[in-house]
Structure 1
């Protein structure tokens, strides 16, 4: 799908029938209270539970997110045959604006629940839910107000109604259960990831059916609306936590908003840094070319999305726990092990980008191949930064990410015009990579305060990524010339990308947990 769903959310783990999930609790989920009251939120795991829950959580996250990505990828292939490239360009702009609203109004509610010592306190959770609902209402109102002005600025009349409709997803998701975060805090990820995968699969199916019958851009909006509604409903029906009601405990509100002020600044800066490429390109290239760029970006982001889910759901809770216990060596070890598992998959993605696009898409989209390769390099740099960023967040210091993203935005803004005029859209993709060095540097500095930064190791791993990517591209070419089958080379590289980290884990040469 172009540029992710409207909320910028990324889905995860294996689907089961909703009834089975509701009736048969999994091993991670506490039984309901005997008197029928809502079960209390799970306590954060301690001692020997941490390893087993983290391992189960990793499995759910990786398998489930793979399922969600396959669903989105299949839908993407179908949509590029049913719709025109301009539709992806317009939807990319809608997503940029909506993601911007979300990020400019992000006060770290979910992260606060995971990070706070009061994350299991019903009063704290209910206050967080109230803030989340108010935030959703605010986002919807703002989206309704900005649609028409944006249509005038970009000269695209459809933005006048598309932005408000897409913005209604924020209102819906504002009422999602906080069990999404309390279960995450306790590393009980079975139902959370199944809930999100079910939402993704059903929403993607609805989108494709709508596209088939209407051949209209409306189908791209259907995805976000259905996913938001299902995610909200499933979070209440399938996940157990405190009974939700509006609450306004002053101490809880103060703690969330104090922690969230740096989250707000960081996410606002992150939005500008991550979306400025599409915001500026939207004013300089045709909608068709912007649509091709968004297709390349969506594919390049897939590895980052998998890592992001794993980092948020498993790595971050473990890092936050280790930092609370002053186990700095463990923090350092967690990061480098995670990074080492990702070298080959990311490198193979870079190497296979051009032949993959040429095989799967028609001639209209072939220019996305080089763009995907360059943007996949940025994926690696962003993954390196993400590891340090989670450490900074676990220390309660999100300001370091804010500093870096501000510098990233400045670098991109200053370099955009000369690079665009000299090298076009591919040059802009290269500028995205270059500007990512800024947030990497600031978050690495934050990690260095707890002796968790390893810059030399990062350089070695980055060199390995480039070397393996060149080797992967060369290997594909050799196989294609020898057999005349591009698909065979892509399949072999895919097996290598999955098999190498799998073998490292299976043989316990790398133990992530």
Structure 2
């Protein structure tokens, strides 16, 4: 149940750079809608399988197993982002990206990097195991993930470069399905943490193997010095951005993995994974629709789109506010219906986390506008501030009120990120603060009304179990 929103964010920025320009003809419109359909289809299928997998696995595995995997997968993601020079982004952006020498140089660098990262992960595994009091064999096994992942064909990136979204979606669908079947089968055979460990490795290995069935130039180990230098120069900024986003997005998991019971961490990880979905959806829509359209208009000196985006944006955020408000007010119900009773506390956690997700949605929308207006630096600065606030507030919040306090620190960090981006918008005379304030009031109001109706009907509140958690 690893959360990979940082990697997804990098992919979204990449796909945004490749997005189709605003449609001029009916065929252009059809192409854009087709690409959007398959892009959203990829998102829905991927996270649909993850949710389905979690629903099934929670009925087979204990919460502490999920807690172990939250820590292990977060460490894996952090390791994989080290020396991330953006192999995919380099192949896609370079005009010679599909030429054999560049293509195979990138593939060779990818494998060398995978070998190095797996060796580093294995060397650090005893230290991680002692720090988190987790069986060192689990870290040692997951240490093979970067290597196995690096063995995939760079033909996957060729699909992105050629805008073959449908083929990429179907490929990822097959890989996700195989991973789902592997995890569930292993959990049925042996309901232990090893089912998730080996399920993860099998899913990665299957994806790597399937990638060689995609059309691609012949692979050959080679290193062209000129191309290596180009890839490294371009990739250093991707590495910095990726590490900042990882630190901001995973500090809670890594910190709570040290101070909290693993069973509760597993429940929190489940709630966090669900709560992140709306924000990730907003990011994908922003970077694949709003950003490329604004960028294309800006390159032509046309400011009319930016000037007229306000009314459409207002309708979007008000609709989102209603949905998120109702979701926060009834988050405990789907948890109770879908998941094993041992995970019931995920209900109140999800309810609170959806407020953090709402602020993240607004930030994603605003960051897309700044990117489209040529101000990408604000996104990095916002994530740095998000990390600092979370680092300062997480430990204190957990000490005062347990996971409820930790979630409040997370909400505060998202609010800090939003304010940083809002300041950038104001400097550009592009502020939507009033819209966002109104939408937030609508969300809170919708949530309050629905909770009041629940009380009137004797159905309680989504936070009823929070009182029991604080007492314990």
The aligned residue for residue 443 of structure 2 is 465
Give 3-state SS (helix, strand or coil) of 1:105's partner: coil
Instruction: Tell me the distance in 2 between the aligned counterparts of 1:203 and 1:103.
Output: 22
The structural deviation recorded for 1:188 is 2.5
Structure 2 counterpart of 1:273, from 240, 248, 255? 248
**Structure-2 change in CA distance of 1:423 and 1:64 (3 Å):** same
Unaligned runs of 5+ in 1: 13-42, 487-513
The aligned residue for residue 374 of structure 1 is 352
Instruction: Tell me the distance in 2 between the aligned counterparts of 1:363 and 1:181.
Output: 42
**Structure-2 change in CA distance of 1:259 and 1:79 (3 Å):** same
The structural deviation recorded for 1:92 is 0.6
**Structure-2 change in CA distance of 1:344 and 1:44 (3 Å):** closer
CA contact (8 A) 1:109 1:128 kept: yes
**Structure-2 change in CA distance of 1:89 and 1:176 (3 Å):** same
Which structure 2 residues correspond to residues 306-321 of structure 1 after superposition, within 5 A?
A: 306-311=281-286, 321=296
Instruction: Tell me the distance in 2 between the aligned counterparts of 1:152 and 1:460.
Output: 48
Instruction: Tell me the distance in 1 between the aligned counterparts of 2:431 and 2:209.
Output: 41
The aligned residue for residue 63 of structure 1 is 41
The aligned residue for residue 232 of structure 2 is 257
**Structure-2 change in CA distance of 1:44 and 1:208 (3 Å):** closer
Q: Does 2:307 match 1:293?
A: no
The structural deviation recorded for 1:203 is 0.7
The structural deviation recorded for 1:451 is 6.1
Which structure 2 residues correspond to residues 61-460 of structure 1 after superposition, within 5 A?
A: 61-115=39-93, 124-156=102-134, 158=135, 160-238=136-214, 240-250=215-225, 252-311=227-286, 321-322=296-297, 324-325=299-300, 327=302, 329-330=304-305, 333=309, 336=313, 342-390=320-368, 399-444=377-422, 453-460=431-438
**TM-score using structure 1 length:** 0.76
Instruction: Tell me the distance in 1 between the aligned counterparts of 2:72 and 2:121.
Output: 10
Unaligned runs of 5+ in 2: 12-17, 463-472
**Structure-2 change in CA distance of 1:163 and 1:399 (3 Å):** farther
Instruction: Tell me the distance in 1 between the aligned counterparts of 2:85 and 2:220.
Output: 20
Give 3-state SS (helix, strand or coil) of 2:258's partner: coil
**Structure-2 change in CA distance of 1:446 and 1:222 (3 Å):** farther
Instruction: Tell me the distance in 1 between the aligned counterparts of 2:284 and 2:413.
Output: 23
CA contact (8 A) 2:389 2:413 kept: yes
**Structure-2 change in CA distance of 1:313 and 1:247 (3 Å):** farther
Instruction: Tell me the distance in 2 between the aligned counterparts of 1:446 and 1:412.
Output: 21
Total equivalences in the alignment: 448
The structural deviation recorded for 1:375 is 1.3
Instruction: Tell me the distance in 1 between the aligned counterparts of 2:370 and 2:102.
Output: 23
Considering fraction of residues, name the structure with more helix. Answer: 2
Instruction: Tell me the distance in 1 between the aligned counterparts of 2:372 and 2:407.
Output: 31
The structural deviation recorded for 1:199 is 1.0
Instruction: Tell me the distance in 2 between the aligned counterparts of 1:462 and 1:242.
Output: 51
**Structure-2 change in CA distance of 1:475 and 1:225 (3 Å):** farther
Which structure 2 residues correspond to residues 469-484 of structure 1 after superposition, within 5 A?
A: 469-474=447-452
